Amino acid sequence: MGDPRGFMTVTRQTPHERAPQERILDWNEFHEHMSEDALKQQGSRCMDCGIPFCHTGGMLKGMATGCPVNNLIPEWNDLVYRGHWREALDRLHKTNNFPEFTGRVCPAPCEGACCLGIIEPAVTIKNIECSIIDHGWENGWVVPNGPTSRTGKKVAVVGSGPSGLACAAQLNAAGHEVTVFERADRIGGLLMYGIPNMKLDKREVVQRRVDLMAAEGIKFVTNTEIGKTLPAKQLMKDFDAVVFCVGATKPNDFFAKTPGRNSGGIHMAMEFLTKNTKSLLDSGHTDGNYISAKDKHVIVIGGGDTGTDCIGTSLRHGCKSLVTFEIVPRSPDERAANNPWPEWPKIFRVDYGHAEAAAKFDYSQVANKQYANDPREFAIQTSEFLTDDQGHVRGLKTVRVDWSKKAENGAPFTVVPGSEQEWPADLVLFALGFSGPEQVIAQELGLEVDPRSNFKAEYGNYATSIPKVFAAGDCRRGQSLVVWAINEGREAARECDRFLMGSTKLP
């Protein structure tokens, strides 16, 4: 702890962002860097709390609390305060392979568990993390660091999202020959195509790390879908071990039986986001190979990060209007009594897309608007998709729901009488989460799955029901955070190394 009074004398500050009306005109990242002096002051707020919960990652009531990769947060906060940036980077890389990813897209459960957060706004852990790694890249400290010798063992990692990349990096560091297979045309999985460029730059951030990993000796194979273009059984013959990190990519569709569901113009969020980023990278959107929201009335169904990303993307296309529906009630502004520290604070937040929509549109003109200056409608359910003569969606019918009363059929809410409403819509996007991994690989190999269709493998061990086959990340645990994917990829690499060598030095 560099300044024993820092948490009492310094207020929390976060980086400035480009104005919403300006940033929706491009696809560049919108956070600006803070000065070293400002970051030093923010680091001084880390209060030497004795029992830091920020880096002791775990789960409470089904939600992450603290850092799942156990980042040495108090240590590098102190090093930043003292100006020891190179040492801070070394401490950061000890636990996290990709801090430039988590520093941008992680929701920061570490800050939710920060001890200072009990009485004051938490330490700006996420921003300091991002600043350390960006500082490292800028100063040329992040360089290829391959193994000094090879074991002669070959490992296939299937999937190049955060869990696959973390697993590959660790196995390569242990000296194994690692090949990463990816079905898309670019490496990165969710990091490349699931998160928009303004939130995580693909060329300057994602591809930069992939290139470094390739320089360290990892082989990447794209446009290859295991179970389709290449049989999974072939991997069993060609490699000494296989680790599946294929994600949870089966989208939920809770409206399959809702009238009008099959109308044109209704898309899953990932189809919308993936095509947008691919077209952006391929041609700057000149090829037209994406789902455009330009001049359309857009409705996003579902909240969370994916819903916000759909909002931000639609605004950059130039949509005519935008609202988003959430079936749950609005969260409180402060922690509720049943949501104490160090649980993840389930409070009302305004993310980048919400702020952009509020700056672009006048929501006071929306009929029956619950909350002014916000694109979200809470406690609302879609009852019908309205279709025009050409079979394309033209609007939605909704009802309000009351979560204080359970329905007679057992539903956790009741429909509010007389709350029916129609909304114009030319484009509807479902951001409803995912139900599990696709089953092609499991069916081909006969992998055992759990009741939620995830590849069955015990946490901490990661071995599947098939010898020499491991599973990690969302395909094992279900849809989760990028930081949990990195955690599982690292740990699965450790167990795979133990299987191959009889012992392991990987953390």
Flag whether pLDDT at 466 surpasses 90: yes
Whether 337 and 300 have beta carbons less than 8 Å apart is answered as no
Flag whether pLDDT at 141 surpasses 80: yes
Among residues 273, 46, 244, 57, the alpha carbon closest in space to that of 156 is found at 244
pLDDT given at position 1: 63
For all residues of the chain together, what is the average pLDDT?
96
Among residues 314, 261, 269, the alpha carbon closest in space to that of 292 is found at 314
Among residues 96, 103, 94, 101, the alpha carbon closest in space to that of 128 is found at 103
Largest CA distance in the chain: 72
Q: Residue type at 378?
A: F
Mean pLDDT within 73-88: 96
pLDDT given at position 37: 96
Mean pLDDT within 114-136: 96
pTM of the model: 0.95
Please give the angle made by the CA atoms of 452, 453 and 456, to the nearest 5 degrees. 100
Structure tokens at 284: 């700057």
pLDDT band at 443 (very low <50, low <70, confident <90, very high): very high
pLDDT in tens, 319-332: 999 999 999 999 99
Structure tokens at 80: 């930043």
Flag whether pLDDT at 367 surpasses 80: no
pLDDT in tens, 279-338: 999 999 999 999 999 999 999 999 999 999 999 999 999 999 999 999 999 999 999 999
**Kind of pairing, strands 434-436 and 250-251?**
antiparallel
Flag whether pLDDT at 143 surpasses 80: yes
pLDDT given at position 285: 98
Mean pLDDT within 112-124: 95
pLDDT given at position 434: 95
Flag whether pLDDT at 2 surpasses 80: no
Which helix (H) or strand (E) covers residue 165, if one does?
Answer: helix 162-173
Flag whether pLDDT at 409 surpasses 90: no
Q: Count the Cβ atoms, other than its own, within 10 Å of residue 229.
A: 10
Domains and CATH numbers, the chain: 6-138 (1.10.1060.10), 154-250+434-501 (3.50.50.60), 253-430 (3.50.50.60)
Flag whether pLDDT at 133 surpasses 70: yes
pLDDT in tens, 144-178: 999 999 999 999 999 999 999 999 999 999 999 99
Can you name the residues that pair with 250 across neighbouring β-strands?
Answer: 436
pLDDT given at position 372: 81
